[in-house]
Amino acid sequence: MTRTSILLVLLAAGCAPVDRWGMFDLDWPQRLEDMEAADVPLRFVPRQQDPPAHPAPDGVAALQLSIEQAVLLALLRNRDLAVEQLNPMIVGALEGVERGAFDPELFAEGQIRRVVGSETARSTGERFSVSARDTAVAAGVRQRLPTGTTVEGSVAHERSASNRAPEQQEARLGLTVTQSLLRGFGAAANLARIRQAELDTVASIYELRGFTEALVADVEIAYWNFALAKESIAIFERALEVARQQTAEIEERIKVGVLPEIEAFAARAEAARREQALIDARSASEAWRLRLLRMINSEPGGALDRRLETTSSTQIEPAPIEDVPDRVRLAENLRADLNEARVRRDQQRLETVVTRNGLLPRLDLFIAVGKTGFAESFRESVRELDGDTYDLTAGFQFSHFLGNRAAEARDHAAAASRRRVEAAVDNLHQLVRLDVRLAINETERARRQIAATRTTRELQEKTYQAEKQRFDVGASTSLLVSQAQRDLLEAQIAEVEAVVRYRLARVRLHLAEGSVLERRGIVLGPARSGPP
């Protein structure tokens, strides 16, 4: 087969669909299974400084949880949080990508050149054959510096042999320095991408912090709502028992002829209402149990059949809020979304540094110095490096787009984005202040409602007792007694709800302040201090 035929066969093989060849059918599921997942760094893991002991599930008894234990289980086992923890890890890896631009680069190259041909002598016109073989190898290190300088050191060797000339070998030590004078000059333009990547990592940690705060707040809200549902069930069960006893007493009096038949209807209707309310309360309790179990992921398989019991009391001694300005300043320092917006603003400021530098023309100054040695053998050519032979090259390179529209457009976009981000930060400042003051207002309302509902419940108890006594002596009706009992039940429920709503309002206030993690002793990410 001729060389031309071989070349054509190789070209035809290059057009074949090699991705369908059997040798490339890989076992992808097995390869993916063999890959190990990277561990999440500790700085990306929310953790409590002094975690409480949490019970180990035994699969039988009810899981008894305090509010602190519920928060701890959520930090340890919540699957949504486990997913979110990977985002800062992914973003943080981009720092290494940007820093890699300044890593030293080791390079090496080699080539062999074989020439068989003919030439014509200019002096005699004689045609003669030429057979030559050239080899060249080179190796070195190049380094890019933040100043816009590129330094390259190299070692090279060339060998040339021909049937028309004696063999010659060349050894060379070279040093080349290239300095950007306009575009790409200075550390500010060259390190901006690294700083942006660092800020991106910080911003992703603030995102994780905000997610963690919301998760902890949701756990506390679910916990207190579940506790409220359990207390409501107890109240409705007692009220249903009282309604049934009252219905039995009325029916007994009807049998002996003391009361007319019509008196039983109101008592039976009231008992039916109590049963309806009890069904709703049990359903609400089950819903909050399922939500809480999902968030704390109490079982390894995520099962939702586990029984729960709350051990933290809903009772609390509320105190008025008198440090409103301090809480606003606290929110301005701790709110994760505000801190993330500040970081994004700093990122955009750096982007304008990059785009401003991109408006400049490219002007590079370069200097190349080489020490050479020539001889008929490799050893002798190396020895000749001590001689007087050298080479020196200096010059510059210039380039610039006429109009430079692309660079100008990028700079205009960066400037507009910077103004937009700064306006967004100012707007978020105002929203944060509003969120804190609204949360304080709601907390104070809930605090005052505790005392008001307690007074209402005490008065309704007296009203019910008075109406019951009047009914016993025949001065009232079962309908009025049922209405008094209904009002008492609503007052009892309202009193319990007022306490829980105050707790929920406090949770939402801490969320508005951005202090949820600090108040639970949870450590995560950077803490911003100083003026915004």
Compute the distance between CA of residue 513 and CA of residue 326 in angstroms, rounded to an integer.
10
Domain span(s) for CATH 2.20.200 in the chain: 149-181+362-399
Residues facing 222 on adjacent strands: none
Tokens of 309: 């019991």
Give the residue, 213 or 262, on which the prediction is more confident.
213
Q: Calculate mean pLDDT across residues 32-47.
A: 67
Compute the distance between CA of residue 63 and CA of residue 69 in angstroms, rounded to an integer.
11
Confidence of residue 441 (pLDDT cuts 50, 70, 90): very high
Q: Calculate mean pLDDT across residues 337-342.
A: 94
Q: What string of DSSP letters covers 279-313?
A: HHHHHHHHHHHHHHHHHHT-STT--S---EEE-S-
* Residues 132-186 pLDDT 10s: 888 899 999 999 999 999 999 999 888 888 777 777 888 888 899 999 999 999 8
Q: Give phi and psi for 160, each to the nearest 5.
A: -130, 125
Is residue 515 within 8 Å of residue 330, measured between CB atoms? yes
Kindly state the helix (H) or strand (E) to which residue 360 belongs, with its residue range: none
Nearest to 507 by CA among 220, 208, 212: 220
Nearest to 520 by CA among 220, 256, 284, 305: 220
Q: Give phi and psi for 441, each to the nearest 5.
A: -60, -45
Given this model, what pLDDT does residue 531 score?
Answer: 40
Given this model, what pLDDT does residue 46 score?
Answer: 74
Domain span(s) for CATH 1.20.1600.10 in the chain: 64-92+194-347+413-523
* Residues 96-132 pLDDT 10s: 899 999 999 999 999 998 888 777 767 776 777 778 8
Is residue 401 within 8 Å of residue 349, measured between CB atoms? no
| Residue 32, CA atoms < 13 Å, CB-side half-sphere | 3
Q: What is the dotted CATH code of the domain comprising 64-92+194-347+413-523?
A: 1.20.1600.10
Given this model, what pLDDT does residue 408 score?
Answer: 92
Q: Calculate mean pLDDT across residues 37-49.
A: 67
Q: Which residues contact 472 (CB under 8 A, 6 or more apart)?
A: none
Residues facing 151 on adjacent strands: 143, 177
Provide the residue type at 298 as one letter: S
Q: What totals of helices (H) and strands (E) does the chain contain, helices first? A: 14, 10
Compute the distance between CA of residue 190 and CA of residue 306 in angstroms, rounded to an integer.
57
Q: Does residue 49 have a pLDDT over 70?
A: no
Q: Which residues of 6-34 are buried (b: 16+ CB within 10 A; e: fewer)?
A: eeeeeeeeeeeeeeeeeeeeeeeeeeeee
Give residue for tokens 């701790």.
Answer: 334
Dihedral sign for Cα 281, 286, 289, 290, please: negative
Where do the H-state alpha helices sit in 315-377?
A: 324-334, 336-358
Q: Calculate mean pLDDT across residues 373-392.
A: 74
Model confidence, pTM: 0.81
Compute the distance between CA of residue 111 and CA of residue 350 in angstroms, rounded to an integer.
44
Topology given in CATH for the domain delimited by 149-181+362-399: Outer membrane efflux proteins (OEP) (2.20.200)
Burial class of residue 41 (count of CB atoms within 10 Å of its CB; 0-12, 13-18, 19+): exposed
Q: Calculate mean pLDDT across residues 407-417.
A: 92
* Residues 191-218 pLDDT 10s: 999 999 999 999 999 999 999 999 999 9
Q: Which residues contact 26 (CB under 8 A, 6 or more apart)?
A: none
Q: Calculate mean pLDDT across residues 491-508.
A: 92
